[in-house]
Amino acid sequence: MIATNLLSESLGQQAVLALLTEVSASPKPGLVDRFNRGAHKDMDFFTFMSSAVALSSYFERCTKAGDSFHEKDLRILFTNLRPLGQEAEKAMFAATGGVNTHKGLIFSLGIICAAAAYCCTTRATASRLDEQIICETIAQMTKGLCESELVFLEKSTDLTVGERLYKEWGMTGIRGEVEAGFPTVREYALPVYRELKSSQRYHVNDICVQTLLQLMVVNEDTNVVGRHDREMLTYVQQYAKQVLEAGGILSERGVAMIHQMNDDFVQKNVSPGGSADLLAVTIMLENLCLSPPAI
């Protein structure tokens, strides 16, 4: 077994770094950042920091679960993560006074930690770990997730937001994204992130904000639809496209538009939180590929 405390600590730290980097990137229209609360009245930058710290041990436990897994059916590994995620949610709520800061990323980053650890354990190519290997593993872990939790959903009351949006709009949300191996991240976010990073011209803050704008253009953000409807999602996507066409955070005009966008989103109570979560996933995957976990 490769897993050691060093491996679990390494992956756990990468996950927490992704959480902190995402919330620190500023300005983010409608979202909590270093400048303001966005469209959220019950949380701020410091709430997110408290939550991130509270989740550090959870990510380490997910790593250990992935490292110690030796069965053929990777769906069992996903099942093994569920009680860990439930405990993590309790820790998050305890740290934030009942505020949901990271429920989506407990799900996504926990799976990534387990998948990356499993890949390190089972592959001789761990030094060349990349998002394709990790995401293929994630797809195997979550195969059938949408079918089991959404398609064959029988209850009609007490629906979660994700369940309601599937019934109303056929949106699979983060479940669909994970089951497909994070295609939105791999096809849209990572290329932008890496291109800007490789140019060595931009600060990590600006790289993150620009990547977020790209995600807002293409992501079927269930956070936006859950608060409003699909018309608002189209509005957000078109607005983000206009900002990118003006240069995004990389131009003076684009920066001014981002601030205007934030004011508009706050007024309309719009929070593209699903895109923010995918930004954290992007950061996590990029960091894992850049610096494979120590083993």
**Average pLDDT of adjacent 10-residue blocks, the chain of 295 residues:** 66 96 98 96 97 97 95 97 98 98 97 94 67 96 94 75 87 95 98 97 98 98 94 98 98 98 98 98 93 61
User: Closest Cα to residue 63, out of 291, 288, 290, 283?
Assistant: 288
What pLDDT is recorded for position 88?
98
What pLDDT is recorded for position 97?
97
Task: Please give the Cα distance from 285 to 186 (Å, whole number).
Answer: 9
Q: Could you identify the residue written with the tokens 């490769």?
A: 2
The domains of the chain are located at 5-290
What pLDDT is recorded for position 1?
46
What pLDDT is recorded for position 3?
43
Task: Please give the Cα distance from 114 to 81 (Å, whole number).
Answer: 8
pTM across the whole model: 0.94
What pLDDT is recorded for position 156?
67
